[in-house]
């Protein structure tokens, strides 16, 4: 029976935001640690297991600081005196295994203290995103003072056999699902109160110190875990109440139950079902509080939406004639008072259903709520207009972006929780423009660089223990490096990526055909789900020529990356390589135009045989200047309205909108948002992976309107590396006024524009030391630091 990383800890949530601000002792980054990796003795360290570790610490006084470094495999949750303190490690790979640095002082007291860690190894039931070597836990004091808590055989350990995995019914779900199994927990054998100071652990065994010596990356002869400091903040956690009870059978329950003030009683020897609606999609740790009802079974099912008899979701607000299908957790109660059941890994849901079966005793469900979690992004941008629909798109897009970001970016939080390059490039730009926080983008770029295989390509998704390679995504990783360079002054980091950039480009160069286009290609050359899944080939999303060669889409995406790489290499003094990239890009664009341009249709074909046409090929032709500049506006107008050609889904429309920006047709953007408005009309509270019918209701690549509201409608763009200069080219379209703000490393960029009878007027505020230009209808005005009034 498979088992899972998504485990449960029975803890009362106190409400907090984890912090990690302490500095690492430099000696620990260049020498072996004194602490040892510890495990529960005499069990397989590769098998599924849930373990508790405890250490008692006597202090004569409360310390002002007490800094430790903590990590585990697969994961841990650390508590001090019963209070949650940290969770980790941040997802990574074995060559770059993160440890968290935490100051425990705020949680310690004079006298007896207990350090407690829940550590688990989900083995084959873990999510695809979870890399692993074997079970292990480590804590290292930052200095001699803190070394008293170093992990070794003085720690105590317990093997918690209350858990077993609860695999999802993938056949019933009918979807690709790799986010891990649910949890089946028997409260009768759970060590209640194990994390508290008054718990009796005399029966616990001494932890076993492994022979592995903890060490920073690059030290020593052996592999296992190469430790590196965590560079992103701890995840946010906050209380989030479910909104309403939608359906009940076998008991009585109403919305008062969801306030925590009115328990639901399930009679003895009965069955009951309660369907709850959060009213919007969320990522949260559900916490279920129950009393009495010994041996009752409670199953929690989580879903983005309910399904009808034809396995369609339809309007997400509607539940009549629909059923719950989704991942589950199951709890068997021990009859105790106010037991709290909490998955250690979060669940994604709008709808949450409780199915209860009691035995000889009635069960009281005292409360059920969620603890929202995610990367602690702050919404530092704004976009204001008089159109309420755009405000709703902003709200739903921001929720989409938030749910697709934690210790890495996610393509989708429900089904995969994997960081794919194609999704991540889009969401990175949202992060920069809406929050100003670049840490997760920087980590993503580094993750993909670490993922490179001997061929030279990055993996398509990483961290991930199941290797997948999409060459087009490797090219978008090159573009991500360029994006970061244009928006952040971080020259050392960018320069270190150039070797990886060159390896990706060289892999493609080796596959250039004599006609100047890309020839036969290996791996999965995914472009967009516009091309359906092909069961015979076991892939989808690949345009004509994507395997056999001569795909204009793939050739031009290679040219697009080459053009950006040329700018990077020029900036770092690698002029010969830059010149070579420029020439190769020019050869590809010229050859593709000659071979694929169909003069009768005035469109670029997908292949030289000119049998298939797509928005994708023509969009990339505009972005790479494969089409003469004086023809690009007219071409884009045809591409945007010709429904006879293969259409871009939500994902690739990002590039159509970039083409609008490039050609000066940005005023058309707002009229092209119908696909997003259609999603709102059927009750989606996040933006979906694909047009209906869709698998995922929340997909990072579909949140792109946030970026384009700011970069295209407000027109705020970087016009020099490091965002040192700004270009503002507003495109109000049908709007009469806009008001926007984008965070910048030096402050905030603010714009306010209003149409007048004769033109436009407004204000622009630039941070100190930042200059730029305003472009509007062929006119260019210089912009200086500070506030300035604009009249055009």
Q: What is the CATH number of the domain that holds 593?
A: 1.50.10.10
Answer yes or no: do 515 and 549 share one domain.
yes
In this structure, the answer to whether residues 583 and 476 fall within a common structural domain is: yes
Report whether 400 contacts 702 (CB < 8 A). Answer: yes
70 and 218 together in one domain: yes
Distances (CA, A) of 278 to 6, 304, 431: 21, 10, 25
319 and 200, same structural domain?
Answer: no
Q: Has residue 11 been placed in a domain?
A: no
Same domain assignment for residues 219 and 246: no
Give the H or E element holding residue 290.
strand 271-292
Q: Which two tokens stand for residue 724?
A: 């040192």
Whether 91 is in a domain gets the answer yes
Count of domains forming the chain = 3
743 falls within a domain: no
Residue at 217 is within a domain? yes
For strands 725-728 and 771-776, give the pairing: parallel
> Are 223 and 241 found together in one domain?
no
Residues 202 and 268 in one domain: no
pLDDT in tens, 404-430: 999 999 999 999 999 999 999 999 999
Q: Which pLDDT score, from 0 to 100, does residue 20 have?
A: 54
Bridge partners for 782 per DSSP: 773
431 and 563 inside one domain: yes
Q: Judge if 206 and 297 occupy the same domain.
A: no
Residue 630: the pLDDT is 95
Cα angle 383, 663, 745 (rounded to 5 degrees) comes to 40
Cα–Cα distance measured from residue 292 to residue 362, given in angstroms and rounded to the nearest whole number: 7
Q: What confidence score (pLDDT) does residue 508 get? A: 98
Answer with the one of 665, 689, 712 that is the final residue of a domain. Answer: 665
Backbone φ and ψ of 374, nearest 5°: 170, 175
Q: Find, among 740, 737, 736, 679, the residue nearest to 708 by Cα.
A: 740
Supply the pTM of this predicted model.
Answer: 0.95
User: Where among 229, 251, 284 does a domain terminate?
Assistant: 229
pLDDT of residue 23: 87
Contact status, residue 135 vs residue 64, Cβ threshold 8 Å: no
**CA dist., res. 327 & res. 482, Å (int):** 39
C-alpha 178/C-alpha 199 separation (Å) is 37
Q: Containing domain of residue 363, as a range?
A: 237-374
Q: What secondary structure does DSSP assign to 111-145, as a single string?
A: EEEEEEEEEEE-GGGS-TT---SS-EEEEEESSTT
Domain boundary among 172, 207, 229: 229
Cβ distance 137 to 35 under 8 Å?
A: no
Structure tokens at 564: 């950006």
Residue 526's alpha-carbon distances to 83, 460, 471, 536, in angstroms, are: 46, 10, 8, 16
Residue 295, phi-psi category: left (phi > 0), alpha (psi -120 to 50), beta (remainder): left
CATH number at residue 135: 2.60.120.260
Q: Is residue 40 part of a domain?
A: yes
Query: Both tokens of residue 565?
Result: 């790489």
Backbone angles phi and psi of 269, in degrees to 5: 50, 50
Instruction: Please report the pLDDT score of residue 222 as a whole number.
Output: 79
Token pair 């209906």 is found at: 692
Q: With contact defined as beta carbons under 8 Å apart, do 338 and 368 qualify?
A: no
In the three-class reduction of DSSP (H, G, I as helix; E, B as strand; rest coil), residue 501 is classed as: helix
- 223 and 315 assigned to the same domain: no
- Angle, vertex CA 273, rays to CA 268 and CA 274, nearest 5: 120
For the record, the structure tokens of 684 come out as: 């989606």
Cβ-based neighbours of 778, under 8 Å, separated by 6 or more: none
Residues 241 and 225 in one domain: no
Is there a contact between 222 and 194 (Cβ–Cβ < 8 Å)?
no
Identify which of 145, 137, 134 has the alpha carbon closest to the alpha carbon of residue 105.
145
Looking at residue 6, its pLDDT comes to 33
Domain shared by 441 and 548, yes or no: yes
Residue 676, both tokens:
């997003």
pLDDT given for residue 16 in this prediction: 42
Q: Is 567 within the bounds of a domain? A: yes
Q: Give the separation between CA 86 and CA 93, rounded to whole angstroms.
A: 20
Asked if residue 208 belongs to a domain, the reply is: yes
According to the model, what pLDDT value does residue 21 have? 57
Spans in the chain with pLDDT lower than 50 = 1-19
Query: Looking at the domain assignment, is residue 200 inside a domain?
Result: yes
The residues, any chain, with a CB within 8 Å of residue 372's CB and separated by 6 or more, are 236, 237, 238, 239, 240, 282, 283, 284
């Amino acid at each position: 029976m498979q088992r899972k990383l998504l485990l449960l800890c029975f803890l009362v949530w106190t409400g907090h935001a984890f912090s990690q601000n302490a500095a690492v002792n430099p000696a620990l980054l260049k020498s072996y640690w004194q602490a040892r990796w510890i495990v529960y003795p005499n069990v397989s360290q590769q098998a599924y297991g849930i373990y508790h570790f405890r250490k008692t610490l006597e202090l004569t006084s409360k310390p002002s600081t007490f800094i430790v470094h903590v990590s585990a495999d697969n994961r841990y949750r650390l508590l001090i005196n019963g209070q949650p303190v940290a969770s980790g490690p941040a997802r990574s790979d074995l060559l770059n295994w993160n440890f968290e640095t935490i100051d425990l002082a705020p949680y310690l007291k004079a006298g007896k203290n207990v350090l407690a860690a829940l550590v688990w190894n989900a083995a084959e039931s873990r999510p695809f995103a979870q890399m692993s070597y074997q079970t292990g836990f480590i804590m290292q004091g930052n200095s001699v003072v803190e070394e008293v808590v170093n992990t070794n055989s003085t720690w105590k350990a317990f093997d918690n056999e209350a858990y077993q995995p609860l695999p999802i019914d993938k056949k019933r779900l009918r979807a690709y699902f790799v986010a891990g199994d649910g949890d089946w927990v028997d409260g009768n054998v759970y060590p209640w109160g194990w994390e508290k100071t008054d718990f009796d652990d005399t029966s616990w065994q001494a932890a076993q110190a492994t022979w592995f010596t903890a060490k920073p990356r690059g030290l020593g002869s052996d592999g296992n875990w190469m430790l590196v400091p965590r560079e992103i903040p701890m995840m946010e956690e906050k209380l989030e109440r479910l909104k309403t009870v939608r359906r009940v059978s076998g008991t009585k329950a109403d919305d008062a139950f969801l306030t925590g003030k009115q328990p639901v009683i399930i009679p003895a020897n009965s069955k009951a079902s309660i369907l709850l609606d959060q009213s919007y999609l969320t990522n949260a740790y559900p916490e279920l509080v129950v009393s009495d009802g010994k041996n009752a079974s409670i199953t929690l099912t989580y879903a983005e939406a309910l399904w009808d008899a034809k396995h369609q979701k339809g309007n997400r607000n509607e539940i009549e004639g629909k059923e719950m299908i989704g991942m589950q957790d199951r709890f068997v109660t021990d009859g105790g008072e106010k037991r709290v059941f909490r998955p250690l890994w979060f669940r994604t849901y709008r709808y949450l259903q409780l199915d209860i079966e009691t035995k000889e005793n009635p069960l009281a469900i005292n409360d059920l709520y969620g603890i929202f979690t995610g990367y602690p992004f702050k919404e530092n941008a704004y976009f204001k207009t008089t159109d309420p629909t755009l405000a709703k798109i902003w709200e739903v897009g921001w929720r989409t972006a938030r749910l697709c970001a934690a210790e890495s970016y996610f393509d989708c939080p429900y089904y995969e929780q994997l960081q794919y390059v194609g999704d991540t490039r889009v969401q990175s730009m949202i992060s920069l423009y809406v929050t100003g926080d670049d840490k997760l983008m920087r980590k993503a770029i580094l993750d993909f660089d670490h993922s490179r295989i001997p061929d030279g390509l990055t993996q398509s998704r990483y961290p991930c223990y199941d290797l997948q390679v999409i060459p087009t995504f490797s090219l978008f990783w090159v573009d991500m490096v360029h994006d970061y360079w244009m928006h952040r002054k971080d020259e050392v980091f960018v320069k270190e990526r150039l070797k990886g950039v060159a390896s990706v480009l060289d892999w493609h160069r080796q596959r250039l055909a004599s006609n100047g286009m890309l020839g036969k290609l290996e791996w999965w050359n995914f472009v967009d789900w516009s091309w359906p899944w092909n069961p015979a080939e076991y892939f989808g999303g690949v345009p004509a020529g994507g395997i056999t060669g001569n795909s204009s889409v793939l050739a031009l995406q290679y040219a697009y990356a080459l053009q950006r790489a040329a700018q990077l290499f020029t900036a770092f003094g690698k002029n010969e390589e830059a010149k070579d990239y420029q020439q190769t890009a020019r050869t590809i664009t010229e050859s593709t135009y000659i071979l694929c341009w169909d003069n009768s249709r005035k469109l670029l074909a997908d292949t030289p045989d000119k049998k298939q046409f797509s928005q994708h090929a023509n969009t990339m032709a505009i972005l790479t200047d494969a089409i003469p500049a004086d023809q690009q506006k007219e071409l884009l107008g045809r591409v945007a309205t010709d429904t006879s050609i293969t259409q871009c889904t939500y994902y690739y429309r990002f590039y159509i909108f970039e083409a609008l920006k490039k050609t000066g047709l940005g005023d058309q953007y707002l009229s092209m948002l119908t696909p997003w408005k259609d999603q709102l009309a059927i009750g989606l509270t996040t933006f979906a992976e694909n047009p209906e019918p869709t698998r995922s209701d929340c997909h990072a690549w579909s949140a792109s309107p946030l970026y384009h509201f700011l970069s295209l409608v407000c027109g705020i763009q970087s016009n020099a590396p490091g965002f040192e200069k700004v270009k503002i080219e507003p495109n109000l379209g049908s709007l009469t006024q806009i008001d926007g703000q984008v965070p910048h490393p030096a402050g905030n960029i603010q714009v306010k524009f209003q149409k007048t009878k004769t033109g436009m007027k407004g204000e622009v505020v630039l941070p100190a030391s930042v200059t730029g230009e305003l472009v509007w209808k062929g006119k260019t005005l210089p912009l200086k630091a500070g506030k300035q009034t604009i009249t055009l």
